[in-house]
A and B are shown apart, each in its own frame.
Chain A
Amino acid sequence: MTDAKTDYAAADDVGEGERQALEALLFRLADDEYVVAERYIEWQIYAPSLESDLALANIAQDEFGHARLWYDLLQEFGRSEEEVLWERDSADFRHSTLVELPFEDGDWADVVVRSYLYDTAERLRLEALANSSYAPIRDRVGKVLSEERYHREHAGNWLERLARKGEHGDETSHRKLEAATERLLPHALSLFEAGPHEADIVEYGFRTRTLEDLREEWLDIVVSFMEGLDLAVPDPDEVERPEEIGRDGSHTDDWFDLYDDFTHTYRELDFEEPIKLRAQGPKEKGAAK
Protein backbone atom coordinates (compact mmCIF):
# COMPACT_ATOMS: atom_id res chain seq x y z
CA MET A 1 0.00 0.00 0.00
CA THR A 2 1.51 3.32 0.96
CA ASP A 3 4.57 4.16 2.99
CA ALA A 4 4.68 6.39 6.02
CA LYS A 5 2.31 8.99 4.54
CA THR A 6 -1.10 9.55 6.02
CA ASP A 7 -3.72 7.50 4.27
CA TYR A 8 -6.98 9.15 3.28
CA ALA A 9 -9.97 6.85 2.99
CA ALA A 10 -12.53 9.30 1.61
CA ALA A 11 -13.37 12.92 0.80
CA ASP A 12 -14.43 13.54 4.40
CA ASP A 13 -10.97 12.69 5.68
CA VAL A 14 -9.06 15.50 4.02
CA GLY A 15 -8.39 19.02 5.24
CA GLU A 16 -8.45 22.17 3.16
CA GLY A 17 -4.84 21.92 1.94
CA GLU A 18 -5.24 18.32 0.90
CA ARG A 19 -8.53 19.05 -0.82
CA GLN A 20 -7.00 21.79 -2.95
CA ALA A 21 -4.15 19.53 -3.99
CA LEU A 22 -6.54 16.68 -4.80
CA GLU A 23 -8.80 18.91 -6.83
CA ALA A 24 -5.83 20.20 -8.81
CA LEU A 25 -4.67 16.64 -9.49
CA LEU A 26 -8.15 15.44 -10.43
CA PHE A 27 -8.93 18.34 -12.74
CA ARG A 28 -5.72 17.70 -14.67
CA LEU A 29 -6.65 14.05 -15.06
CA ALA A 30 -10.31 14.53 -15.83
CA ASP A 31 -9.85 17.45 -18.21
CA ASP A 32 -7.13 15.67 -20.20
CA GLU A 33 -9.36 12.65 -20.66
CA TYR A 34 -12.48 14.58 -21.46
CA VAL A 35 -10.89 16.90 -24.00
CA VAL A 36 -8.85 14.23 -25.78
CA ALA A 37 -12.08 12.25 -26.22
CA GLU A 38 -13.87 15.32 -27.57
CA ARG A 39 -11.19 15.60 -30.24
CA TYR A 40 -11.14 11.88 -31.05
CA ILE A 41 -14.84 11.80 -31.81
CA GLU A 42 -14.30 14.38 -34.54
CA TRP A 43 -12.94 11.43 -36.53
CA GLN A 44 -16.28 9.66 -36.51
CA ILE A 45 -17.11 8.72 -40.12
CA TYR A 46 -13.80 10.24 -41.28
CA ALA A 47 -11.29 7.64 -40.11
CA PRO A 48 -9.47 5.82 -42.93
CA SER A 49 -11.20 2.48 -42.45
CA LEU A 50 -14.31 1.20 -40.72
CA GLU A 51 -12.16 -0.63 -38.20
CA SER A 52 -10.10 2.41 -37.32
CA ASP A 53 -13.29 4.44 -37.06
CA LEU A 54 -14.68 1.95 -34.56
CA ALA A 55 -11.39 1.68 -32.70
CA LEU A 56 -11.07 5.40 -32.19
CA ALA A 57 -14.73 5.67 -31.17
CA ASN A 58 -14.14 2.93 -28.63
CA ILE A 59 -11.03 4.63 -27.29
CA ALA A 60 -12.93 7.89 -26.99
CA GLN A 61 -15.68 6.08 -25.08
CA ASP A 62 -13.09 4.75 -22.64
CA GLU A 63 -11.57 8.18 -22.15
CA PHE A 64 -14.99 9.68 -21.49
CA GLY A 65 -15.52 6.88 -18.98
CA HIS A 66 -12.25 7.71 -17.26
CA ALA A 67 -13.07 11.41 -17.25
CA ARG A 68 -16.36 10.55 -15.57
CA LEU A 69 -14.56 8.56 -12.86
CA TRP A 70 -12.34 11.49 -12.02
CA TYR A 71 -15.14 14.07 -12.25
CA ASP A 72 -17.11 11.79 -9.89
CA LEU A 73 -14.36 12.12 -7.31
CA LEU A 74 -14.42 15.90 -7.69
CA GLN A 75 -18.13 15.78 -7.04
CA GLU A 76 -17.47 14.05 -3.74
CA PHE A 77 -16.09 17.38 -2.56
CA GLY A 78 -19.56 18.82 -2.89
CA ARG A 79 -19.76 20.02 -6.46
CA SER A 80 -22.27 18.96 -9.08
CA GLU A 81 -21.51 17.57 -12.54
CA GLU A 82 -22.70 20.87 -13.96
CA GLU A 83 -20.19 22.74 -11.85
CA VAL A 84 -17.23 20.54 -12.67
CA LEU A 85 -17.94 20.41 -16.38
CA TRP A 86 -20.79 22.12 -18.16
CA GLU A 87 -20.83 25.39 -16.26
CA ARG A 88 -17.15 25.68 -15.47
CA ASP A 89 -15.42 28.64 -17.02
CA SER A 90 -13.42 27.66 -20.09
CA ALA A 91 -10.34 29.33 -18.58
CA ASP A 92 -10.54 27.06 -15.53
CA PHE A 93 -9.82 23.90 -17.48
CA ARG A 94 -6.43 22.40 -16.72
CA HIS A 95 -5.80 19.96 -19.57
CA SER A 96 -2.57 19.95 -21.55
CA THR A 97 -2.67 21.90 -24.80
CA LEU A 98 -1.76 18.64 -26.59
CA VAL A 99 -5.31 17.35 -26.27
CA GLU A 100 -7.12 20.53 -27.30
CA LEU A 101 -5.41 21.11 -30.65
CA PRO A 102 -7.63 20.56 -33.67
CA PHE A 103 -6.46 17.85 -36.02
CA GLU A 104 -4.84 19.00 -39.17
CA ASP A 105 -7.50 18.47 -41.80
CA GLY A 106 -7.74 14.77 -42.55
CA ASP A 107 -4.30 14.10 -41.12
CA TRP A 108 -4.50 10.59 -39.68
CA ALA A 109 -0.80 10.80 -38.77
CA ASP A 110 -1.75 13.48 -36.25
CA VAL A 111 -4.14 11.22 -34.35
CA VAL A 112 -1.63 8.37 -34.43
CA VAL A 113 1.20 10.46 -32.99
CA ARG A 114 -1.00 12.33 -30.57
CA SER A 115 -2.57 9.24 -29.10
CA TYR A 116 0.79 7.51 -28.89
CA LEU A 117 2.32 10.44 -26.98
CA TYR A 118 -0.73 10.89 -24.80
CA ASP A 119 -1.43 7.26 -23.94
CA THR A 120 2.18 6.59 -23.07
CA ALA A 121 2.11 9.54 -20.67
CA GLU A 122 -1.22 8.40 -19.30
CA ARG A 123 0.08 4.98 -18.39
CA LEU A 124 3.03 6.46 -16.48
CA ARG A 125 0.79 8.88 -14.67
CA LEU A 126 -1.71 6.19 -13.70
CA GLU A 127 1.01 3.91 -12.43
CA ALA A 128 2.23 6.79 -10.26
CA LEU A 129 -1.30 6.92 -8.79
CA ALA A 130 -1.60 3.19 -8.10
CA ASN A 131 -0.25 3.69 -4.58
CA SER A 132 -1.85 7.07 -3.98
CA SER A 133 -2.47 7.93 -0.35
CA TYR A 134 -6.01 8.87 -1.42
CA ALA A 135 -7.91 5.57 -1.51
CA PRO A 136 -10.67 6.64 -3.93
CA ILE A 137 -8.00 7.38 -6.56
CA ARG A 138 -5.95 4.21 -6.15
CA ASP A 139 -9.11 2.08 -6.11
CA ARG A 140 -9.90 3.27 -9.63
CA VAL A 141 -6.46 3.05 -11.18
CA GLY A 142 -6.41 -0.71 -11.78
CA LYS A 143 -9.60 -0.68 -13.79
CA VAL A 144 -8.52 2.34 -15.82
CA LEU A 145 -5.10 0.87 -16.59
CA SER A 146 -6.67 -2.39 -17.72
CA GLU A 147 -8.64 -0.41 -20.31
CA GLU A 148 -5.62 1.54 -21.50
CA ARG A 149 -3.42 -1.20 -22.87
CA TYR A 150 -5.18 -1.56 -26.19
CA HIS A 151 -5.11 2.21 -26.68
CA ARG A 152 -1.33 2.05 -26.71
CA GLU A 153 -1.39 -1.01 -28.94
CA HIS A 154 -3.64 0.78 -31.38
CA ALA A 155 -1.43 3.87 -31.56
CA GLY A 156 1.79 1.85 -31.58
CA ASN A 157 0.60 -0.46 -34.36
CA TRP A 158 -0.40 2.44 -36.55
CA LEU A 159 2.85 4.23 -35.83
CA GLU A 160 4.85 1.20 -36.90
CA ARG A 161 2.72 0.61 -39.95
CA LEU A 162 2.96 4.16 -41.25
CA ALA A 163 6.61 4.69 -40.29
CA ARG A 164 8.06 1.62 -41.98
CA LYS A 165 8.33 2.09 -45.66
CA GLY A 166 7.18 -0.98 -47.52
CA GLU A 167 3.93 -2.83 -47.26
CA HIS A 168 1.86 0.00 -45.76
CA GLY A 169 4.04 3.01 -45.11
CA ASP A 170 5.83 5.11 -47.69
CA GLU A 171 7.73 8.38 -47.96
CA THR A 172 4.54 10.36 -47.54
CA SER A 173 3.29 8.60 -44.43
CA HIS A 174 6.77 8.79 -42.90
CA ARG A 175 6.98 12.49 -43.59
CA LYS A 176 3.51 13.10 -42.18
CA LEU A 177 4.39 11.33 -38.94
CA GLU A 178 7.47 13.50 -38.57
CA ALA A 179 5.50 16.65 -39.29
CA ALA A 180 2.91 15.66 -36.67
CA THR A 181 5.66 14.92 -34.16
CA GLU A 182 7.27 18.27 -34.75
CA ARG A 183 3.97 20.01 -34.30
CA LEU A 184 2.74 18.02 -31.28
CA LEU A 185 5.85 17.44 -29.18
CA PRO A 186 6.08 21.00 -27.83
CA HIS A 187 2.47 20.72 -26.69
CA ALA A 188 2.94 17.20 -25.31
CA LEU A 189 5.65 18.56 -23.01
CA SER A 190 2.95 20.59 -21.27
CA LEU A 191 1.56 17.29 -19.97
CA PHE A 192 4.31 17.53 -17.39
CA GLU A 193 4.02 21.21 -16.51
CA ALA A 194 3.44 21.80 -12.83
CA GLY A 195 0.43 23.64 -11.45
CA PRO A 196 0.38 25.68 -8.23
CA HIS A 197 -0.37 22.67 -6.01
CA GLU A 198 2.26 20.36 -7.45
CA ALA A 199 4.48 20.26 -4.35
CA ASP A 200 1.52 19.36 -2.16
CA ILE A 201 0.35 16.64 -4.55
CA VAL A 202 3.63 14.83 -4.06
CA GLU A 203 4.08 15.83 -0.41
CA TYR A 204 0.73 14.33 0.59
CA GLY A 205 1.47 11.21 -1.41
CA PHE A 206 -1.46 11.66 -3.78
CA ARG A 207 0.94 10.95 -6.67
CA THR A 208 4.05 9.00 -5.79
CA ARG A 209 6.34 10.36 -8.50
CA THR A 210 7.28 13.89 -9.49
CA LEU A 211 6.41 15.34 -12.88
CA GLU A 212 10.12 15.69 -13.74
CA ASP A 213 10.56 12.03 -13.09
CA LEU A 214 7.56 11.09 -15.23
CA ARG A 215 8.70 13.42 -18.00
CA GLU A 216 12.11 11.83 -18.07
CA GLU A 217 10.77 8.29 -18.33
CA TRP A 218 8.20 9.33 -20.92
CA LEU A 219 10.89 10.90 -23.10
CA ASP A 220 13.06 7.80 -22.78
CA ILE A 221 10.21 5.63 -24.01
CA VAL A 222 8.80 7.75 -26.82
CA VAL A 223 12.09 9.01 -28.23
CA SER A 224 13.68 5.56 -28.36
CA PHE A 225 10.57 3.97 -29.86
CA MET A 226 10.10 6.64 -32.51
CA GLU A 227 13.75 6.91 -33.39
CA GLY A 228 13.77 3.12 -33.63
CA LEU A 229 11.23 3.59 -36.41
CA ASP A 230 13.61 6.01 -38.07
CA LEU A 231 11.43 8.98 -37.21
CA ALA A 232 13.17 12.26 -36.45
CA VAL A 233 12.16 13.55 -33.01
CA PRO A 234 13.00 17.17 -32.15
CA ASP A 235 15.27 17.71 -29.17
CA PRO A 236 12.81 18.38 -26.34
CA ASP A 237 15.16 20.86 -24.73
CA GLU A 238 15.53 22.81 -27.95
CA VAL A 239 11.98 23.03 -29.22
CA GLU A 240 10.18 26.30 -29.08
CA ARG A 241 7.49 25.98 -26.45
CA PRO A 242 4.08 27.53 -27.00
CA GLU A 243 3.09 30.37 -24.70
CA GLU A 244 0.01 28.46 -23.62
CA ILE A 245 0.65 25.52 -21.34
CA GLY A 246 -2.88 24.49 -20.39
CA ARG A 247 -2.07 23.52 -16.84
CA ASP A 248 -2.43 27.11 -15.65
CA GLY A 249 -5.63 27.79 -17.57
CA SER A 250 -3.87 29.40 -20.54
CA HIS A 251 -5.06 27.74 -23.72
CA THR A 252 -4.87 28.09 -27.47
CA ASP A 253 -7.79 29.83 -29.21
CA ASP A 254 -8.92 26.47 -30.54
CA TRP A 255 -9.79 25.35 -27.04
CA PHE A 256 -12.28 28.14 -26.56
CA ASP A 257 -13.99 27.21 -29.84
CA LEU A 258 -14.14 23.58 -28.79
CA TYR A 259 -15.56 24.56 -25.42
CA ASP A 260 -18.30 26.59 -27.09
CA ASP A 261 -19.12 23.60 -29.27
CA PHE A 262 -19.35 20.96 -26.60
CA THR A 263 -21.32 23.16 -24.19
CA HIS A 264 -23.62 24.41 -26.95
CA THR A 265 -26.44 21.93 -26.40
CA TYR A 266 -26.23 22.31 -22.65
CA ARG A 267 -26.65 26.05 -22.93
CA GLU A 268 -29.39 25.87 -25.55
CA LEU A 269 -31.52 23.44 -23.62
CA ASP A 270 -31.23 25.51 -20.53
CA PHE A 271 -32.44 22.74 -18.33
CA GLU A 272 -32.05 23.04 -14.63
CA GLU A 273 -31.71 19.34 -14.09
CA PRO A 274 -30.59 16.49 -16.29
CA ILE A 275 -33.54 14.85 -17.96
CA LYS A 276 -34.41 11.46 -16.52
CA LEU A 277 -34.77 8.82 -19.17
CA ARG A 278 -36.83 6.55 -16.97
CA ALA A 279 -39.16 6.83 -14.03
CA GLN A 280 -37.05 7.06 -10.91
CA GLY A 281 -39.52 5.84 -8.31
CA PRO A 282 -39.38 2.39 -6.76
CA LYS A 283 -41.31 -0.28 -8.54
CA GLU A 284 -44.37 -1.61 -6.83
CA LYS A 285 -43.70 -4.34 -4.35
CA GLY A 286 -43.91 -7.69 -5.97
CA ALA A 287 -44.37 -6.23 -9.43
CA ALA A 288 -43.32 -8.57 -12.17
CA LYS A 289 -40.10 -7.58 -13.90
Chain B
Amino acid sequence: MSMGFEDSGVGTESETKAPDGSEACAYTSYEEGEVDAEYPKTGEGAEGVAREVWDALYEVQDPEMPVSVVDLGLIYDVFVDEEARSVVVEMTLTYTGCPARDMIINDVRCAAETASGVDSAEVKLRYSPGWNVNMVTEQGRADLREFGLSV
Protein backbone atom coordinates (compact mmCIF):
# COMPACT_ATOMS: atom_id res chain seq x y z
CA MET B 1 0.00 0.00 0.00
CA SER B 2 1.26 3.43 -0.77
CA MET B 3 -0.54 6.43 0.57
CA GLY B 4 2.30 8.82 0.32
CA PHE B 5 2.67 9.01 4.10
CA GLU B 6 6.32 9.61 3.50
CA ASP B 7 5.48 12.89 1.84
CA SER B 8 6.06 16.05 3.70
CA GLY B 9 3.19 17.83 2.07
CA VAL B 10 5.47 20.81 1.76
CA GLY B 11 5.32 21.56 -1.89
CA THR B 12 7.71 24.11 -3.11
CA GLU B 13 10.58 24.07 -0.74
CA SER B 14 13.82 25.02 -2.29
CA GLU B 15 16.75 22.84 -1.61
CA THR B 16 20.03 24.35 -2.51
CA LYS B 17 21.94 21.14 -2.78
CA ALA B 18 21.58 17.65 -4.02
CA PRO B 19 20.77 15.00 -1.48
CA ASP B 20 23.94 15.05 0.48
CA GLY B 21 23.34 14.59 4.16
CA SER B 22 20.54 12.15 3.47
CA GLU B 23 20.42 9.15 5.72
CA ALA B 24 20.04 5.67 4.33
CA CYS B 25 17.81 4.77 7.24
CA ALA B 26 15.76 7.95 7.46
CA TYR B 27 12.58 7.33 9.38
CA THR B 28 9.17 7.70 7.82
CA SER B 29 7.35 10.71 9.12
CA TYR B 30 3.62 10.51 9.67
CA GLU B 31 3.21 13.93 11.14
CA GLU B 32 4.64 16.43 8.74
CA GLY B 33 2.61 18.64 6.51
CA GLU B 34 0.60 21.74 7.15
CA VAL B 35 -3.09 21.88 6.55
CA ASP B 36 -5.21 24.83 5.65
CA ALA B 37 -7.67 25.41 8.49
CA GLU B 38 -10.52 24.78 6.05
CA TYR B 39 -9.52 21.14 5.75
CA PRO B 40 -10.61 18.45 6.19
CA LYS B 41 -14.03 19.25 4.75
CA THR B 42 -16.61 17.06 6.42
CA GLY B 43 -19.93 18.52 5.33
CA GLU B 44 -20.45 19.98 8.78
CA GLY B 45 -23.46 22.30 8.68
CA ALA B 46 -24.59 21.11 5.25
CA GLU B 47 -28.34 20.95 4.84
CA GLY B 48 -30.92 19.64 2.42
CA VAL B 49 -29.60 18.01 -0.73
CA ALA B 50 -26.00 18.81 0.14
CA ARG B 51 -26.49 17.03 3.49
CA GLU B 52 -27.74 13.97 1.66
CA VAL B 53 -24.77 14.07 -0.70
CA TRP B 54 -22.30 14.27 2.17
CA ASP B 55 -24.06 11.43 3.94
CA ALA B 56 -23.80 9.33 0.79
CA LEU B 57 -20.11 10.18 0.43
CA TYR B 58 -19.49 9.01 3.99
CA GLU B 59 -20.55 5.57 2.78
CA VAL B 60 -17.83 5.44 0.12
CA GLN B 61 -14.71 3.68 1.31
CA ASP B 62 -11.18 3.96 0.06
CA PRO B 63 -10.53 0.86 -2.09
CA GLU B 64 -7.41 -0.02 -0.11
CA MET B 65 -8.59 0.59 3.44
CA PRO B 66 -11.85 0.45 5.39
CA VAL B 67 -12.13 4.19 5.87
CA SER B 68 -14.58 6.65 4.38
CA VAL B 69 -13.27 8.94 1.65
CA VAL B 70 -14.66 11.85 3.71
CA ASP B 71 -12.79 10.80 6.85
CA LEU B 72 -9.68 10.31 4.78
CA GLY B 73 -9.97 14.00 3.89
CA LEU B 74 -10.32 13.43 0.15
CA ILE B 75 -13.51 15.44 -0.39
CA TYR B 76 -12.72 19.11 -0.94
CA ASP B 77 -16.15 20.53 -1.77
CA VAL B 78 -19.71 19.74 -2.75
CA PHE B 79 -21.72 22.10 -4.94
CA VAL B 80 -25.40 21.44 -5.47
CA ASP B 81 -27.46 23.01 -8.22
CA GLU B 82 -30.98 22.24 -7.06
CA GLU B 83 -32.64 23.63 -10.15
CA ALA B 84 -30.52 21.54 -12.52
CA ARG B 85 -30.73 18.60 -10.10
CA SER B 86 -26.96 18.22 -10.44
CA VAL B 87 -24.01 18.14 -8.11
CA VAL B 88 -20.28 18.71 -8.51
CA VAL B 89 -17.97 16.99 -6.05
CA GLU B 90 -14.40 18.27 -5.85
CA MET B 91 -11.94 15.81 -4.42
CA THR B 92 -8.31 14.80 -4.35
CA LEU B 93 -6.29 11.59 -4.15
CA THR B 94 -3.73 10.61 -1.54
CA TYR B 95 -1.03 10.40 -4.21
CA THR B 96 -0.87 11.20 -7.90
CA GLY B 97 -0.07 7.67 -9.03
CA CYS B 98 -3.17 6.20 -7.39
CA PRO B 99 -4.11 3.20 -9.54
CA ALA B 100 -7.68 3.24 -8.20
CA ARG B 101 -8.41 6.74 -9.46
CA ASP B 102 -11.17 5.85 -11.88
CA MET B 103 -12.71 3.44 -9.39
CA ILE B 104 -12.86 6.03 -6.61
CA ILE B 105 -14.22 8.71 -8.92
CA ASN B 106 -16.92 6.36 -10.09
CA ASP B 107 -17.83 5.31 -6.55
CA VAL B 108 -18.07 8.95 -5.47
CA ARG B 109 -20.13 9.93 -8.49
CA CYS B 110 -22.53 7.04 -8.01
CA ALA B 111 -22.89 7.81 -4.32
CA ALA B 112 -23.67 11.47 -4.99
CA GLU B 113 -26.32 10.43 -7.47
CA THR B 114 -28.16 8.44 -4.82
CA ALA B 115 -29.19 11.67 -3.09
CA SER B 116 -32.79 12.59 -3.70
CA GLY B 117 -33.03 15.67 -5.87
CA VAL B 118 -29.87 14.71 -7.77
CA ASP B 119 -30.03 13.32 -11.27
CA SER B 120 -26.43 13.71 -12.25
CA ALA B 121 -23.14 14.17 -10.47
CA GLU B 122 -19.74 15.17 -11.72
CA VAL B 123 -16.45 14.61 -9.93
CA LYS B 124 -13.58 17.03 -10.40
CA LEU B 125 -10.10 16.23 -9.18
CA ARG B 126 -8.06 18.89 -7.42
CA TYR B 127 -4.48 18.66 -6.23
CA SER B 128 -4.33 21.92 -4.34
CA PRO B 129 -4.00 21.91 -1.43
CA GLY B 130 -1.98 18.74 -1.73
CA TRP B 131 -3.38 16.00 0.47
CA ASN B 132 -1.36 14.86 3.45
CA VAL B 133 -2.07 12.70 6.45
CA ASN B 134 -3.06 15.66 8.61
CA MET B 135 -6.23 15.93 6.55
CA VAL B 136 -7.53 12.68 8.03
CA THR B 137 -10.35 13.25 10.55
CA GLU B 138 -10.33 11.87 14.09
CA GLN B 139 -12.78 9.20 12.99
CA GLY B 140 -10.52 8.41 10.03
CA ARG B 141 -7.53 8.05 12.33
CA ALA B 142 -9.48 5.68 14.56
CA ASP B 143 -10.51 3.62 11.53
CA LEU B 144 -6.96 3.50 10.21
CA ARG B 145 -5.62 2.47 13.61
CA GLU B 146 -8.16 -0.31 13.79
CA PHE B 147 -7.01 -1.39 10.35
CA GLY B 148 -3.46 -1.59 11.72
CA LEU B 149 -1.86 1.65 10.62
CA SER B 150 -0.19 3.85 13.19
CA VAL B 151 -1.39 7.36 12.56
Distance in angstroms between the alpha carbons of A59 and B8 in the assembled complex: 16
- With contacts A130-B11, A282-B110, A289-B59 taken as known, whether A143 is within 8 angstroms of B18 at the C-beta atoms is no
Distance in angstroms between the alpha carbons of A138 and B11 in the assembled complex: 11
Is B106's CB within 8 Å of the partner chain A?
A: yes
- DSSP majority for the B interface? loop
Is A139's CB within 8 Å of the partner chain B?
A: yes
Distance in angstroms between the alpha carbons of A281 and B7 in the assembled complex: 35
Min CB gap A248→B, angstroms: 28
For this complex, 28 residue pairs linking A to B, each with C-beta atoms less than 8 Å apart, are: A62-B95, A65-B96, A65-B97, A65-B98, A68-B97, A120-B18, A130-B12, A139-B126, A142-B127, A143-B96, A143-B127, A143-B128, A144-B127, A145-B13, A146-B7, A146-B132, A147-B7, A149-B7, A149-B8, A150-B6, A153-B19, A153-B22, A157-B19, A161-B24, A278-B106, A283-B114, A285-B114, A287-B114
Distance in angstroms between the alpha carbons of A68 and B19 in the assembled complex: 27
Is B37's CB within 8 Å of the partner chain A?
A: no
Binding site for A on B (CB under 8 A): 2, 4, 6-15, 17-20, 22, 24, 26, 59-61, 95-99, 101-103, 106, 109-111, 113-114, 116, 125-132
Contact A146 B103 (CB under 8 A): no
Contact B12 A152 (CB under 8 A): no
Contacts of B97 in A (CB 8 A): 61-66, 68, 147
Of the candidates B8, B102, B110, B131, the one having the most CB atoms from chain A within 10 angstroms of its own CB is B110
Is A286's CB within 8 Å of the partner chain B?
A: yes
Distance in angstroms between the alpha carbons of A110 and B81 in the assembled complex: 55
Contact B110 A283 (CB under 8 A): yes
Is A209's CB within 8 Å of the partner chain B?
A: no
Which of A65, A138, A280, A282 is the one whose CB lies under 8 Å from B114? A282
Contacts of B59 in A (CB 8 A): 289
Distance in angstroms between the alpha carbons of A138 and B101 in the assembled complex: 21
Contacts of A284 in B (CB 8 A): 114
Contacts of A282 in B (CB 8 A): 109-110, 113-114
Min CB gap A116→B, angstroms: 8
Min CB gap A288→B, angstroms: 9
Contacts of B111 in A (CB 8 A): 283
Is A266's CB within 8 Å of the partner chain B?
A: no
Contact A58 B11 (CB under 8 A): no
Min CB gap A137→B, angstroms: 11
- Closest B-chain residue to A130, C-beta based? B12
Contact B4 A147 (CB under 8 A): yes
Contact B114 A146 (CB under 8 A): no
Contacts of A62 in B (CB 8 A): 95-97
Distance in angstroms between the alpha carbons of A84 and B70 in the assembled complex: 33
Distance in angstroms between the alpha carbons of A149 and B18 in the assembled complex: 10
- Closest B-chain residue to A145, C-beta based? B11
Distance in angstroms between the alpha carbons of A261 and B95 in the assembled complex: 27
Contact A225 B20 (CB under 8 A): yes
Contacts of B11 in A (CB 8 A): 130, 141-143, 145-146
Q: Known A-B contacts: A145-B11, A287-B114, A289-B61. Give 17 more (CB < 8 A).
A: A61-B97, A66-B97, A120-B18, A127-B14, A138-B128, A143-B11, A143-B96, A143-B128, A143-B131, A146-B4, A146-B9, A150-B6, A156-B19, A157-B19, A277-B102, A278-B106, A286-B114
- Closest A-chain residue to B61, C-beta based? A289
Contact A68 B106 (CB under 8 A): no
Contact B114 A127 (CB under 8 A): no
Is A176's CB within 8 Å of the partner chain B?
A: no
Distance in angstroms between the alpha carbons of A150 and B17 in the assembled complex: 14
Min CB gap A149→B, angstroms: 7
